Amino acid sequence: MTLQDGPIVALRALRPQERAAVLDVFSRLGDESRRQRFFGAKPRLSDRELDQLTDVDGRTRDALVAVVSHDEHAESVGVARFVRETDDPETAEVAFAVADDWQGRGIGTQLADALARRAQAVGIRRLRASAFADNVRSLALVRRLGRVVESRRDGPTVELVVEL
């Protein structure tokens, strides 16, 4: 996709060995973005967390990465992922992260739309997402993916389930 201000962003499947792509996005999240994505302070990702975030098979766990190419290098600016629920294989939990300096430019929307299409292609009918209630942009992003069939608030967090 070409952003309004010129850069071209490619969305592609995250490969299992791409820990650097996940770390690239994580390193460019500010404290507030990390709090919202990981539900608390998160100064770094452990090796175990990196393994989990890059454990993808395209059916039960899948992830997309948004990449901006510059002359000699590429930078990862966003990641979206789903993990199919074992007790309800037609539902998957989703999560998104876009580097702070790339937020508000449509990357999260494009990642969410593409991830929803990939989820549907493997038989997922519903997406579940949790966010802090004050994370209005993330909640709006999830709501636009389909019809909200469940909405629960538990303290500071909101859980939404949308039917694709």
Q: How far apart are CA 105 and CA 102, in angstroms?
A: 6
pLDDT for 119 equals: 98
The domains located in the chain, with CATH, are 9-163 (3.40.630.30)
What are the Cα distances from residue 121, in Å, to 17, 20, 59, 118, 150? 23, 27, 9, 5, 22
* pTM to 2 decimal places: 0.91
Average pLDDT, consecutive stretches of 10 residues, N- to C-terminus, the chain (164 residues): 80 92 93 90 90 94 92 87 97 96 92 97 97 93 96 95 98
First to last CA, the chain: 23
Residue 40, pLDDT score: 86
